[in-house]
Structures are given as C-alpha cells and as structure tokens.
Amino acid sequence: MHNFNSNYDYFGWGWILWFGFIFLVFSSFGNWGYAYRAHRKFDGLPRKDAASILNERYAAGELTRAQYLELKSDIAAK
C-alpha cells in the first residue's frame, strides 16, 4: 500500500505544480477584472451621429461652407 508522501511523489517537485495552478487562478481573475473594468469604461460613452460630428468640424473651422453643405446633403441623402 502506498502512503502519500510529498517527498516521494514528483520527486519533491510537487510544490511547483501547485504554485503554477495557484498562479493561473490568480492571473485568470486578474485578467477578468481588467477586462471587466475596461469594458465598463467604454460602454457608457455617448455616441455621436454624423450630423453632430459634421457640425463640430464646421464650427472648429476644419471645413469650408461649401464642403459643409455638400457633406450635409450627402448625410441627408443616406
């Protein structure tokens, strides 16, 4: 009959298997926590429609009036 002896099983290296298992468990929880926080950070951002982005660009002076009216008509057509 075999008695459990940690020095006999795995030639004394059984502790490294447990260390690896514990490391994997903690790293999995850490990865889950990071992904959870990252998704919550970006889920609540308000989304802008094309017209509001166009208005902001025109107000910032990035577009001329002719470009603004052309893009506005393109947006309205879609």
Quick one: 55 and 75 in the same domain? yes
For residue range 20-69, list pLDDT tens digits in order.
899 999 999 889 988 888 887 777 667 788 999 999 999 999 999 999 99
Quick one: 3 and 25 in the same domain? yes
Quick one: 23 and 35 in the same domain? yes
For residue range 5-21, list pLDDT tens digits in order.
555 555 666 778 888 89
Q: How many domains does the chain have?
A: 2
Quick one: 55 and 78 in the same domain? yes
Among the listed residues 49, 67, 48, the one whose alpha carbon sits nearest the alpha carbon of residue 58: 67
pTM equals: 0.43
Angle of helix 65-77 relative to helix 50-59, nearest 10 degrees? 180
The residue range of the domain holding 60 is 46-78
Quick one: 35 and 51 in the same domain? no
Quick one: 36 and 1 in the same domain? yes
User: Which DSSP string corresponds to 38-52?
Assistant: HHHHHHTPPPPPHHH
Buried b / exposed e along 19-43 (16+ C-beta atoms within 10 A):
eeeeeeeeeeeeeeeeeeeeeeeee
